[in-house]
Structures are given as structure tokens and as C-alpha cells.
A and B are shown apart, each in its own frame.
Chain A
Amino acid sequence: MNLVALPVLVPMMTALVLLFLGTRPTLQRVLAIGSFAGQLVIAVMLVGRSWDEGVLALPLGAWVAPYGIVFVADLLAGLMLTLSAVTILAGAVYGVIEMPGRRSHPLRLPLLQFLAMGINLSFVTGDLFNLFVAFEVLLLASYALLTLEADDWDVKQAFPYLALNAVGSTVFLCAAGLSYAMLGTLNFADMSARAADMSGDPRLMALGLVFVLVFGLKAGLFPLYFWLPHSYPTLATPVAAVFAGLLTKVGIYVLIRMCTTVLPHDMSALHGLIAWMSGATMLLGVLGAISRNFIRGILSFHILSQVAFMTLALGLFTPLSVAAAIFYIAHHIIVKSSLFLVGGVAALLNRTDDLNRMSHLWKATPWLGVVFLAQALSLAGLPPLSGFWGKYLIVVEGLAQREYWLVGASLVASVLTLFSMLKIWLAAFWREEAEVRVVREDRRWRPLTVVAGAMTAISLTIGLGAEPLLRLAGRAAEMTLDQEGYRDAVFGLRGKSLEEGIPGVLPVPLPGDGAAAGGEFLPFPGGTP
């Protein structure tokens, strides 16, 4: 069994089995959590192999690269797979502790597995149409999770999310059609080869704009974000943590993949557009966060301003800033989902997450306070916590490129982030309101704090030992920016993955000199339409 296919196959098979175990909650939970742990192990192994061997490609069914479906895992994909496995594992464990016995919904764990399948497929897929399928799998799972345990009010909030994402997916389908018409292929490697040939063509710019529209919507960039901060707070805590950590980051990942691997690197107008959209998102997101007065609302708005840091790093588009974007994704997924978990524990203790009616938490549970403070300061980017390193690199690169306004916006956004985090701290933890009671008899808060604390430990490790992860992010950025290497791996020119996976495959004709080698197999005799 090839390692590259497992991140998709394992959650799919587990989900199917879990669907039949609805009446056996204990067995269902053990199996689901075991499967998530297994996915984490697979992802870490993929990172290790990709570090040693470069880009790993698996042509499915022995259909060689430009014609068949290819799964590709490079270091960036492996890193994203690892982060998604960690986050979903934490969310599942938290959900199991929070809802003991038969109280939890029997469909939540299977749907989380389907969500994992969609997310993982979008990380390992090597062509645009499978990416569309992966997005639909993860979106349908997310629609179902959004309305699974919802009351009247929650369902209303789900409607804009659903409508906007459904329309976004349809525009994505049109984008796939456009790429096929322009480039004659949907395979990322083949697309990059043909796009490189028409470098400087204005049609490429149009295609890039459509990509920014589609994936900017998924990521929650400036004019396209308003579906996010209203729908996320309606979710149950563990599901909200998974959504907040992962869903927007899939959009960012694809945006990075498109800008680095597929489109030519000389499209500075497109990169500038992404950078300026990020600047606007940053400020508006953090202002929205200040305007909210309940923990999940504040955290949901913060997703926007934090996502903008990653796209700003991508927009600056130097090898170091792409590495900073990757590092920032790793930092943000862990910090944001653990903050949602902390918010959930706090809401459990005070029986509400409305800041006007919370208090006493510092006295009641100092450890929860420590965990919250560490993650909040990390989100704001104070050294030596994990958020600092990503922001530092972004600011350094921004200054080097003389983007003073954007750097200024990012610094203002950081200060305002700190301000809104302190708002939670002062109201929920520090204040001592006589009539508010802390419900400590509910024993669940201790193990739940441990789950949030474990995520915090990972984030502290990232912050204090930033060097190895920075090296990893640097290597991953190098690998995605190296279009030649990606193509060689996918077309099987390095031979490693092909010979190992499928013995006896014929040598592949190069797409470049296709007329000479095996021209009768090309779908378009005489070139692209």
C-alpha cells in the first residue's frame, strides 16, 4: 500500500464503518479516535519520507501523469496533513470527554472522518478537478456538522455559510473549465508546464484572478469573508475548534499551491492584489473582534485577521516569506483551535461565554488561565511564543520590499489583537463579580483543560524551538517554489515513486516534446485548443 493514498483511504473507510456503529457509542469512539491517531502517524511518516526523497507522487491505476489522476505529497502537504490530524484528534477527544455516554450525536464522529477525508484529499490531490471534489466532500461534511445539533437560531446562521460556499464551489467549477480551455489540462504539473510557456499572457492573469476569488472566499479574505464570523460561533466547541483551525487554512494552502506550483512566478500584480486584500482583511477582522462581546465571536473574527497574515506573507512572494506563511499556518492552526477549546472550558465553568456574565475564572482554575494567557499572547505575537516568529519574518520581508503601509497595518492589527484578548482576560478571568458562580462540581472541566493544555504544549514547543520548524517550513517553501522538481516527480522522471508503486510501467512521454514521443496518445493532436 502506498503511503500517499492512506491519508484519504483511512478516514473514508473509518467513516463508513462508523456509520454502522451508531448504536454502540463506546466502540464508535474508540475506533474513531484510534483512526485519527493512525492518520497522525501516517502524516508524520509522510513528512519524514518527503524530507528525505522530495516530492512523492502516486499515479492511480497506473495511468501515467498527465492522463490519469495523481496524488502528490510534498513537504508542505505532509505538514498540513500532520496539523489537520493533530487538530481533529484534539477535537474528537474533547468532544468525547464533553459528551459522556449516549448524549452525543451518533453522526458527529463519522462526519468528522468525512471532513478529514475531504481536507486530506485537498492536500494530496494533484489535479484541479479532484480538488473540486475534495472541496465538495469537506463542504458537505461541514454543512452537515453545522446543522447537526443546531437549534432554530443556529440553522438560520448556517444559511449564509451554505449559500455562499455553494455559489463559491460553482465558480470553482467554472474556474476548472477555464483552465481546461486555456491550458488543455487539469493536472497541476502539466498546468504549470503549459502556463510557463505562455508566461506574461494576460489570460493567465484572468485565471489567477478567478483563483483568488474562489480560494479567497474559502480562506475568508477581505470582500468575501462575511459568511464566517456569524456561522462559526453557532458550532459546538470541539467542532468549532476543528473548523476554526482547518477550513480556512485549506483555502490558504490551495492559494499557496496555485501561486507557487502552478502559476508562473512573475505575476507580481496578482501577488500585490493578494497582499493588499490581506491588509484590508487584517484591520477589518480585528476591528470586528473588538466589537464582539462573547468569546467565540471574538475568536471567530480573529480567524480573519490571522488568515490575512498568511496571505500577506504569500503576497510578498519571496522564498523567505512563503516559508513564513507556512510557519504561520502551523502556528495558527494549533493556537486557534486550542483557544476555542479554552473558550469552551470557560463557558462550561461559567455556564455562558458572554463576557458580561463571566468572572472568577483565574481564582477557580489558575491552570486554565495560564493556558489561555499563553495562547492569547501567542496569537498577538509576543516573543518568544510561536506567533512572534511568523510575524517577525513577515515584518522583516515587508520592510525589505518597502511595503511600509502593509507592515504598519500588520503591526496595528497585532496590537488590537492583544487588546481584544485582554478584554477576554479581564472580563472572564480577572474580574470578581459576586453574583456569578463558577460551576466546579461539573468534573468534566479537568480533563478538558488537559486537552487544551496538550495543544498549548505543542504551540509552546513551536515557539521555543522555532528553529527546526522554520527549517522545515523553509524546505517546504523551497519545494513548492521549485516547479521543475514538482513536474519531474509527477511525470515520474525521477523514477522513484513509479517503480516502487507500480512495476513495469512504460516510460512516460514528456509533455514538452509530446509530438516526438508517443504523439498519438495526446488528447489534442496539434497542441492545445
Chain B
Amino acid sequence: MQADTAVLTGVLFAVALWLVLQRSFVRILFGFIIFTNAANLFVLMMSGEPGGRQAPIMEPGVNAVDPLPQALILTAIVIGFGVTAYLVTLLYRLFLDGRTTDARELFADEPDEREKSK
């Protein structure tokens, strides 16, 4: 149980990292989504095996999963959802402005400094 979760988390992190380093926005976005989910799985894995653990408010002797990491992951999922929603709208705006999903193209003809005239 522990070993295969560890391998799965490692693979997810590797895939996420590879995607985040791509040039296309859409891939970066998917990389970020996989990254947050890999982190959630990582936290769950860190809580260890459920066998023998016990929740603080239950009768002694009842087998239960440690509830704290679950609560934490639930919070993290909600937050990750919010950030992802924001990221999607931002990338859509970037696409509308630049008519490209290529990060290198977007930042290509950048002036060294901007001459602001506000």
C-alpha cells in the first residue's frame, strides 16, 4: 500500500513538473492541476497506514483512519480549485490579448523597460 502510493505520487510529480516546464499555457495549466493533486495524495500518504490508528473522539479499540489529513486535504482541494479557476481565466485573458498559447511567443518582443506614461 505504502510503496505503490509512493511510486504513484512520484510519477504524478514527475509528470506535473514536465508539463509545467512546457511552452504551451494549456500544458502548464494541466501541470499545475496534476501538481496540486499529487500534493494532496502526498499529504494523504504522509498520514500513514490506517490500520491500528484511532480518531481522538472514538471509543478505544475501534479501527479508524486518522481524520486530520483528510480534513486538511479537503481544505486544500477547495483552495486548489479556486486557484485553478483563477488561473484558467487569467490564461484565457492572455490568450485573448496575445492570440497565442505559446509562452515564448508571448514574452518574445518584450522591451527592456516599459515607458509608462501615467
Contacts and interface: CB of A to CB of B under 8 A. Distances in A.
Interface of A: 67, 129, 132-133, 136, 140, 143-144, 147, 152-153, 155-156, 158-159, 162-163, 166-167, 169-171, 173-174, 176-178, 180-181, 186, 233, 292-294, 297, 347, 351-354, 357, 520-525, 529
B47 A180 contact: yes
B118 A67 contact: no
B93 A140 contact: no
A177 B36 CA distance: 13
Interface string B78-118: 01101100110010011001100000001100000111111
Given A176-B72, A293-B113, A351 B90 contact: no
A167 B72 CA distance: 18
B115 A352 contact: yes
A336 to B, nearest CB: 20
Contacts of A153: 114
Nearest to B41: A177
Which of the four size classes fits the interface of chain B?
35 or more
A158 B86 CA distance: 12
Given A173-B39, A173-B76, A523 B113 contact: no
**Chain B at the A interface: mostly helix, strand, loop or mixed?**
helix
Contacts of B60: 520, 525
Given A166-B32, A174-B43, 5 more contacts: A159-B90, A294-B113, A354-B116, A525-B60, A529-B47
Contacts of A147: 90, 93
Contact of A524 (B53, B106, B118): B53
A292 to B, nearest CB: 7
B106 A297 contact: no
A523 B54 CA distance: 6
A167 B94 contact: no
Given A173-B40, A293-B113, A347-B118, A162 B87 contact: yes
Contact of B42 (A166, A167, A177): A177
B48 A140 contact: no
Given A158-B90, A294-B116, A523 B56 contact: yes
Contacts of B11: none
Contacts of A297: 113
A397 to B, nearest CB: 38
Interface in B21-53: 28, 32, 35-36, 39-40, 42-43, 45-48, 53
Contacts of A163: 20, 28, 32
A180 B71 CA distance: 13
Given A173-B76, A294-B113, A354-B116, A178 B46 contact: yes
A136 B39 CA distance: 15
B36 A353 contact: no
Given A133-B75, A181-B46, A167 B40 contact: no
